């Protein structure tokens, strides 16, 4: 079986993170998401809170408050991205794994046996997920859907040159509202097995 890597981009509220985690359990491979934040903080010696504030965001107002004396905000953001890039490349080189977000689809674009997935859902379903699964208040859920999607799109466009859900840079796009977390994870895990564990990569 050839070594492979799966990257997952997702809309906020589509439950892409638990789907990725469940896929990793079904496939018996590693899953990386927020642990990348810890690795970046350790490598750059930036506070973890600072890395979290710029995680999948671009040129935020946070930096304008943190560095009011003119330090180059984008320079700090670029430092985080470049460190993140090194970590993601290293993870993909070492083992079969799933990596969530953070332009990983773009960073690993030249890696062999790379499957790029985008998970989305209707606005109504995402709102329901935020309220019932993520336990948000309705107004908070609406705000987060609006703001996080906008931030992720801007971040991805800045570094990769395209938005996370651009069909020209994806192998699979799936509506998680059809099957839910368990069903979507099972469907995608079976697809991965057929793609990378059945010899189809040699065809």
Q: Is residue 104 a contact partner of residue 7, using CB atoms and an 8 Å limit? A: yes
Q: Encode pLDDT of 137-184 as tens digits.
A: 999 999 999 999 999 999 999 999 999 999 999 999 999 999 999 999
Q: Cβ atoms within 10 A of the Cβ of 52, count?
A: 15
Give pLDDT, residue 80: 93
Give pLDDT, residue 1: 63
Q: Is the dihedral of CA 82, 86, 87, 93 positive or negative?
A: positive
Instruction: Phi first, then psi: give them for residue 110, nearest 5 degrees.
Output: -100, 5
Give pLDDT, residue 58: 74
> Worst-scoring range by mean pLDDT, 55-59, 60-64, 77-81, 188-192?
60-64
Instruction: Identify which of 194, 198, 201, 193 has the alpha carbon closest to the alpha carbon of residue 28.
Output: 193
Gyration radius from the chain CA atoms: 17
Span 5-193: which CATH code?
Answer: 3.40.50.300
- Residue 167 tokens, joined: 């069909």
Q: Is residue 168 a contact partner of residue 162, using CB atoms and an 8 Å limit? A: yes
Instruction: Identify which of 184, 192, 196, 172 has the alpha carbon closest to the alpha carbon of residue 117.
Output: 172
- Under the banding of pLDDT at 50, 70 and 90, the label for residue 50 is confident
Kind and range of the H or E element at 41? helix 35-44
pTM: 0.89
Q: Encode pLDDT of 69-112 as tens digits.
A: 334 567 888 999 999 999 999 999 999 999 999 999 999 999 99
Give pLDDT, residue 57: 83
CA torsion 183-184-190-193 (nearest 10°) is -150
Domain boundaries along the sequence of the chain? 5-193
- Under the banding of pLDDT at 50, 70 and 90, the label for residue 54 is confident
Give pLDDT, residue 190: 97
Share of the chain above pLDDT 90, in %: 80
Give pLDDT, residue 195: 93
Q: Is residue 163 a contact partner of residue 156, using CB atoms and an 8 Å limit? A: yes
Res. 123: pLDDT tops 90? yes
């Amino acid at each position: 079986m050839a070594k492979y890597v799966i990257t997952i981009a997702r809309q906020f509220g589509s439950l892409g993170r638990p789907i990725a985690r469940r896929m990793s359990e079904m496939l018996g491979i590693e899953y990386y998401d927020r642990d990348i934040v810890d690795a970046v903080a350790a490598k750059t010696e930036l506070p973890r809170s600072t890395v979290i504030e710029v995680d999948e965001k671009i040129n935020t107002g946070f930096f304008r408050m943190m560095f009011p004396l003119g330090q180059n905000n984008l320079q700090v953001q670029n430092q985080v991205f470049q460190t993140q890039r090194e970590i993601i490349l290293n993870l993909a080189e070492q083992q079969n794994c799933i990596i969530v977000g953070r332009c990983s689809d773009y960073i690993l674009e030249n890696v062999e046996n790379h499957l790029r997935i985008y998970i989305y859902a209707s606005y109504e379903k995402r709102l329901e997920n935020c309220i019932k699964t993520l336990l948000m208040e309705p107004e908070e859920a609406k705000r987060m859907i609006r703001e996080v999607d906008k931030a992720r799109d801007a971040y991805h466009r800045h570094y990769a040159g395209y938005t996370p859900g651009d069909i020209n840079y994806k192998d699979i796009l799936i509506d998680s509202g059809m099957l839910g977390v368990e069903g979507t994870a099972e469907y995608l895990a079976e697809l991965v097995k057929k793609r990378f564990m059945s010899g189809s990569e040699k065809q």
